[in-house]
Amino acid sequence: MGENTLKSLFDLLIPKDKSKTSVNDIRLEFVRFRKLLENSRALMSLMEDAEEKMRGEYIFDRQYVLSLIDESIEYMSMAAFDLSVIAQDASEMIYGLVDELKAFTQTYFIERKKDIQISSPFIDLAKTTSSEPEFVFLAQVLAWMKGPLPNGNVSVTEFVRQVFDKAVPALKKADMSNPSIHLKKLAHSTLNCFHLIDMDEAVKSKMELSIHELKCRPLITMLTSNATANHSIAQESADAKWLALMEHDRLSLRGIINSRDILIEVTQSGYMDADFMFMFISHPLISNTLFPQNFKTLMTDKAIFGWSYHLSDYQIEQSLTHIGTSLFN
């Protein structure tokens, strides 16, 4: 099925009227954003894999390089679909970008795969000390993945930047004024605009919860951190509106601080392969000290976002304490 057909079908299935938000919409969005994170992570992993192969310890062939291109396109197509669910307005732009990236790989990689040499637009970009065609090929594909590319060509990294710049601002925030949501309020002296949705609980029994009644581990850690606070951030964030989507080991915390979006996504299951943290903050950045030290970060036109994967339970606790102290203490 072509992407345009898929998109038309998608437009038919998803109604345009977004005025009424339900808990199911929020669940759908929660799951889809997690998928978007998975697909973006897969793209980053492909890049890391390619960088590892460039170091020369591995035996690889052209087929490996071609499979990197195929997999990148596949993950970008899936990420485009995820974004279309979260931000329908971005659908046309992002599918256009995927088409552009596909066309680029066709022209510069697929059609040249039998006669590999460093050529435009990679002359100053592809870094390799080996003259083996496989290394030259991989160096060019890696340059396409990492970017930036000349002449307005879009790299895979730039694609990821644009996806998050569109996706995060489109996520539902705490200022929803819809009675069907049944938001719970967090009873906390300094966090009077903190709303909660318990994703594990179908029936909403209480409308107000104390911190001690929370079951979401990552949120509890953030709110009960007692290290010394960075008062400038804490003061600013005191006026923030927060929405926390909670499961026992997963948290999506979305905030608006002085019209800036802030998003923190965490899975803290105790399984290192599954656990991760992701954080997105719109410009102007409140403080770059908000990102824990083990985070990799990427700057976009609108924001800075960072992530960290394969974390131990202790590392997650430390990172959450760091962020929680900065924001809420």
Which residues in this chain contact other proteins in the complex, by CB under 8 A? 53, 57-64, 67, 132-134
Question: Is the CB of 62 or the CB of 241 nearer to other proteins?
Answer: 62
Cα torsion 33, 35, 37, 39: sign: negative
- Tell me the closest approach of the beta carbon of residue 141 to other proteins, in angstroms: 14
Q: Which amino acid is at 30?
A: F
- Tell me the closest approach of the beta carbon of residue 5 to other proteins, in angstroms: 25
- Tell me the closest approach of the beta carbon of residue 70 to other proteins, in angstroms: 9
Question: Is the CB of 131 or the CB of 205 nearer to other proteins?
Answer: 131
Contact call for residues 7 and 95 (beta carbons, < 8 A): yes
CA–CA gap between residue 212 and residue 232 (Å, rounded) = 27
SS3 call for 129: coil
DSSP class per residue in 186-220: EE-SS-TTEEEEETT-SS---SEEEGGG---HHHH
Instruction: Give the DSSP H or E segment for 118.
Output: none
Contact call for residues 216 and 30 (beta carbons, < 8 A): no
Within its chain, how far is the Cα of 61 from the centroid? 31
- Tell me the closest approach of the beta carbon of residue 78 to other proteins, in angstroms: 18
Question: Is the CB of 63 or the CB of 106 nearer to other proteins?
Answer: 63
Question: Is the CB of 58 or the CB of 271 nearer to other proteins?
Answer: 58
- Tell me the closest approach of the beta carbon of residue 310 to other proteins, in angstroms: 21
Q: How many CA atoms lie within 13 A of 226 on its CB side?
A: 1
- Tell me the closest approach of the beta carbon of residue 259 to other proteins, in angstroms: 47
Question: Is the CB of 45 or the CB of 190 nearer to other proteins?
Answer: 45
Cα–Cα nearest to 278, from 37, 31, 80:
37
Question: Is the CB of 60 or the CB of 295 nearer to other proteins?
Answer: 60
